[in-house]
Amino acid sequence: MNKNKIYKIIKENEIEKIKEIIKEIINEEKNKKKIIKYSIKQKVSKEIIEYLITKLFNNNNNNDNDINFKDKKRRNLLQISIINQSKIEIIKLLIKKGIDINSKTEENETALHFACQYHSFEVIKYLVEKGIDVNIKRIDQKIALHLACQYNSFEVIKFLIENGSDINSQADAKLSPLYFVLKYQKSIEMIKFLVSKGADPTLTTLFNETPLHLVCQYQKPNEIIEYFISKGIDINSKNINHETVLHLVCQYKQPLEIIEYLISKGIDINSKTNGNETALHYACKFQNTLKVIQYLISKGVDINAKTKWNETALHYAFSHKNSNEIIKFLIEKGIDINVKSDFNETVLHIACKNPNSIEIVKILVEKGIDIHATTNQNQIALHIASFFNSLEIVKLLVEKGSDINSTISYREETALHLACQNNPSIEIAKYLISKGIDINAKTIEGKTALHYACQNNSSLEVIQYLVEKGIDINAKTNYNKETALHFACQTNLPLEVIEYLVFKGIDINSQTINNETPLHHACGNINENSLEIIKFLASKGADIAAQTRYNQATPLHFACQHQNQNQNENLFEVIQFLVSKEMELKTHINKTSNQTSDHDHLIYFRKVPSGYLTFNRKTPLHLFCENGNLNSNSIQIIKFLLESGIDINAKTSYGEETALHCLCKNKNQENSNELIKCLIEKGIDINAKTNENQTALHLACQNQNKNSIELIKCLIEKGIDINAKTKRNQTALHFVCQNKNPNSFEVIKLLVSKGIDINAKVYNNQSALHIIYQYQPPKSFDITKFLIESGIDINVKTSHNETALHFTLKYQSNLFEFVEYLISKGIDINAKTNQNETALHYASERNSSIQIVKYLISKGADINSKTNQNETILSISIKKQNENIIKFLLMNDANIDDLKKEYITQEFIDLIPQIYSINEDMNNLLKSNNQFSDLIIQSNDLFKFKVHKLILLTRFDNNELTLQKFINNCYQKPKKEIEIILNFIYTGFYNFDKFIDKFNSKQIENENENENENENENENENENENENENENENENENENEKEIIQNFIKEIGIDSNWIENKKGRKGIINDLSKLYKENETKDFKIIVEEKEIKIHKLILIIRSELFKGMFELNIQDSTNQVHDYSRKSFETINQFIYFLYHDKFNNIEKEKEKEKEIILEEFYDLKDYFQLNQNSIIDLILKDLKN
């Protein structure tokens, strides 16, 4: 049945209908999880949820059938139910069904976090009663109490505190629950309650804020401020910006009475921030009332205090909405008016920016402010007033003696330039000229006031006045050599301005440094007035065929290249006019061809092969197709240009592109099909290639927009070679995969449907599958599935031997669904690059999620594979300090024998107790006794034992050998003796006699060596003497070691026969054997998240106290829950044993014969250690393995 139909039936919330289709639902294997989640989101009845859980999740050892499954965000059903605000009965049902109440999401959130954010007190109370951990921290370090203080009621907050929530727990930015109450609840009652329960009001945040700093942001915080001060918060404490509470009260414009209260309590009125700002600066900056400013000054705030930028409160006051009133008051109180900021601005400079500040300017001038003071840019107040069109201020400053011809240093602009720059003012221009300003003064760029006026959309009135007053109309700028007419044409000034300038004698064919004329500029910016301006210029003798210096472009090229958007209708008329004028000129030259032409540069249309070409051989058709805003009017322009004689197959000199290539590069195509058809009808070569062997199809796929798919369809329909390759062996498919356009997937499907070679490879052997991971966003998962389903080779390797799985982890490191899908489709999980790196190495190197690492290993990724640099996933994870992955790898027996010594650090040793649940005494020993930790590290080199065997030290039988005795014994011994004891434990502890034999065999070896050495006695007598001494030393050393071990055994209270004791190791093995035989016919079922376990862990499990705890349970009672002694939970002991000794062995793949041999070796070793009989569980396991 279709999934959507199932959803529809579930939405109806009728259990009988669901029962009718339950078989179809069960058969929806892939959608089981989605169906139960959908049911919860639809808030169907408890009866339906319970029925679906019973039918869908039958606990048959299959992860897909585990009720504790998680979604992509690692949320389980309980968390999903709470987020969707399910009823309490659903929550109770899920917990009853065994859902993990303390399960964590990828953000480390538990169900309680969600409940405090989304749900009622009833749910929260129930979760706590069922034992949920109230102090688990999310990834942002928030516990449930933080969220309750943010989202929930006083009742919930009280309840959580009473049930053990850490009231002073600090989230990110060191925010305690008290801060969340202050920010979100703003309740004095809640605040007092938290403090009464131990909330520390003196705790500061990461930004050094106290609760007082936070309170200042809220309305009417009087009572809370008084309360916190009474609780001993330092009133003068400063946050990270060195702001006191007084600064923030002024920032948030709190009432005057709060400021009065703070000052009465002794707050430092002149305290300064990091920027040296006082409360007075803040009061002016944040627009406090005049009364506040008056009060601060009356209480002794330093009126002339300067910020680190040398600004006083007066500088700040100009931003105030009531600036005149406050500025007058500050001046009356004697503030220094001549202070300059770091930009050398006085308050006069600031006042001149506001045309309404004439009254303040008068006061400042009367008070003697320096009107000639210059800023860092050499601006005087007159310059600023002129720029901001403050006529009254300009007059006042000139009357007071301001230098009218003063220039700004960095650009050498006068006040007249500035008056013509910003919304040019005729009044200021007239006034300045009347006062004798130099009208022809030039800036550092050589611009006059006329250039500025034409460049800044000035009115005809201003331009006429400047010309009538004698400004040089043909003055050129220094570098580009532009006249006022160039600027007027470029900015599309009205025709009347152009006509006036031409009438007054401006050079109509004046050329810039690039030989651009005013006509070029007029054609380069087409609008509704352009045609009449262009016609006017042509009628007055503008050179219609003038070419630029660097690119040999005519006005026609400019028109085709620079047209404005939505101006194609006007553009067509302009192009028609320009072509007709050139045709006239051509006809004239043909008639006078026997004469020397002044127009040798003229472009011929039909007779000259290079007709219409720029320096880089671009025709107007190239430029139009490449730069145009192509729309429905474009086709008539293209047809017209072609009818005018342009070579349709002309190629540019750089890139060798035709007009079709240019069209496909243009991202502004509309009606692209019609344009392509037009070019093809006119004879363009559809398969023409650029110098990189790119066809139009390559470029269309490379430069996609919303209309590209139609363009690409048209090219294919018109016969373009779909499998054409560039010089780098790229096909169109490769270019689409590189393009991040939202329509890329549709284009890919089109190309594949039209027969493109899906397995084509580029120069470095990358296929389309590799490329999408480099360039496509995460949604490229759909593209991946499509390509694989369409037959792309999933295991193809690049020149570096990287597969698509490598690329997924390299470029999309945390997209689990990609990894899962590729593996499900058969990609080689252990494929190696040239550097011998597998996908697992890539996952570790690029900090992929632990979910991906776990999944790769569960699917057979070699956990101990080494790169060319001898790096394993464990060594990489240690370097990356990825603690979670390190723990997981050690728990799954990643080989650490070959770890370089520098990786066995104290931090690494510290992880071991967390992994193996090491006894607390041992944990303390590791933390407190550096000598012991150092010895463990050294022992790795001395005795070649696996560091994870450290666990054995903590799992002796308590009745025979206590850990505490061992620790105390080691504390009292010198380093050398501890080394001997460690060697004893890791090599021969389980059979003392064998240990003694080992030393005896060493003695024999030494004796043999001595005999060989004695044969050479005559060669060197001195050497013999030394060797005899060494022999004696070796014998003494062996005897000494035996003595140390024997003393050690006596001191800790065991004898050599302890292993025979029923409570010893052999007793445990016998118990296991008996247990296995009693239950071997039962159908065991297990509940585990993962089926993978390394078999040699059996050694550790047998030697631990884990089974001792299990034997106390009733093994026949299938409902008895076994506590999680190590890292897994099993419903019964039977399930655990079945899991260890049956499931795994029968599933060893044929290609893993080597692994099987290793496992056999380990079990034979174990059998020898314990002298097991034929009825033991080990023999049963070995028998299974051999079969």
Q: CA 848, CA 840: separation in Å to the nearest integer?
A: 10
∠ CA 703-704-708 to the nearest 5 degrees? 130
Cα radius of gyration rounded to whole Å, the chain: 44
Angle in degrees, 0-180, between the axes of helices 963-971 and 1021-1052, rounded to the nearest 10: 140
- Evaluate whether 944 touches 981 at the Cβ level (below 8 Å): no
Q: CA 414, CA 432: separation in Å to the nearest integer?
A: 10
User: Of the candidates 376, 453, 440, 366, which has an alpha carbon nearest to the alpha carbon of residue 408?
Assistant: 376
∠ CA 879-881-885 to the nearest 5 degrees? 105
Angle in degrees, 0-180, between the axes of helices 1153-1170 and 1065-1079, rounded to the nearest 10: 120
Q: CA 1013, CA 1028: separation in Å to the nearest integer?
A: 9
- Evaluate whether 116 touches 151 at the Cβ level (below 8 Å): yes
The pLDDT of residue 911: 63
- Evaluate whether 349 touches 373 at the Cβ level (below 8 Å): yes
CB atoms within 10 A of CB 567: 17
- What are the backbone dihedrals phi and psi of residue 759, each rounded to the nearest 5 degrees, phi first? -100, 10
Residue 122 makes CB contacts below 8 A (sequence gap 6+) with: 88
Classified by CATH at the fold level, domain 797-903 comes out as 1.25.40
Name the residue ranges covered by the structural domains of the chain: 100-200, 797-903, 946-1058, 1065-1186
The pLDDT of residue 6: 78
Q: Where are the beta strands (DSSP E) in 144-260?
A: none
- Look at residue 175 and give its three-state secondary structure: strand
- Evaluate whether 663 touches 675 at the Cβ level (below 8 Å): yes
Residue at 480: amino acid letter: N
Q: CA 994, CA 706: separation in Å to the nearest integer?
A: 80
Q: CA 211, CA 232: separation in Å to the nearest integer?
A: 11
What is the pTM assigned to this prediction?
0.61
Q: CA 516, CA 548: separation in Å to the nearest integer?
A: 5
Q: CA 427, CA 429: separation in Å to the nearest integer?
A: 5
Q: Do domains 100-200 and 797-903 have the same CATH topology?
A: yes
Classified by CATH at the fold level, domain 100-200 comes out as 1.25.40
Residue 251 makes CB contacts below 8 A (sequence gap 6+) with: 216, 243, 282, 286
Residue 993 makes CB contacts below 8 A (sequence gap 6+) with: 1056
DSSP codes of every residue in 394-425? HHHHHHTT--TT---TTT---HHHHHTTSS--
User: Of the candidates 72, 34, 102, which has an alpha carbon nearest to the alpha carbon of residue 851?
Assistant: 72
- Look at residue 171 and give its three-state secondary structure: strand
User: Of the candidates 386, 472, 477, which has an alpha carbon nearest to the alpha carbon of residue 435?
Assistant: 386
Helix residue ranges, H only, 708-835: 708-717, 732-738, 744-753, 768-775, 781-789, 804-811, 816-824
| Angstrom distances, CA of residue 798 to CA of 726, 766, 805 | 18, 5, 12
Helix residue ranges, H only, 948-1020: 950-953, 963-971, 975-988, 992-1015
User: Of the candidates 604, 635, 598, 597, which has an alpha carbon nearest to the alpha carbon of residue 619?
Assistant: 604
Residue at 929: amino acid letter: N
Residue 180 makes CB contacts below 8 A (sequence gap 6+) with: 146, 149, 150
Residue 709 makes CB contacts below 8 A (sequence gap 6+) with: 743, 746, 747, 750
List the structure tokens of 396.
């006042």
The pLDDT of residue 953: 38
- What are the backbone dihedrals phi and psi of residue 175, each rounded to the nearest 5 degrees, phi first? -95, 120
Count the helices and strands in the chain (H runs, E runs): 66, 0
Let me know if 195 is exposed, middle or buried by CB neighbors in 10 A (0-12, 13-18, 19+): middle
Q: CA 372, CA 403: separation in Å to the nearest integer?
A: 8
Alpha carbon 952 to chain centroid distance?
Answer: 43
∠ CA 49-72-1090 to the nearest 5 degrees? 80
The pLDDT of residue 942: 35
Q: CA 798, CA 137: separation in Å to the nearest integer?
A: 44
Bridge partner residues of 175 (DSSP): 171
User: Of the candidates 615, 619, 664, 614, which has an alpha carbon nearest to the alpha carbon of residue 637?
Assistant: 619
With a cut of 70, list the residues of the chain below it in pLDDT: 1-3, 26-30, 58-65, 219, 321-322, 562-569, 585-616, 628-632, 668-672, 777-779, 813-814, 893, 896-898, 901-902, 904-976, 978-1039, 1041-1042, 1045-1046, 1048-1187
List the structure tokens of 1001.
């065999």
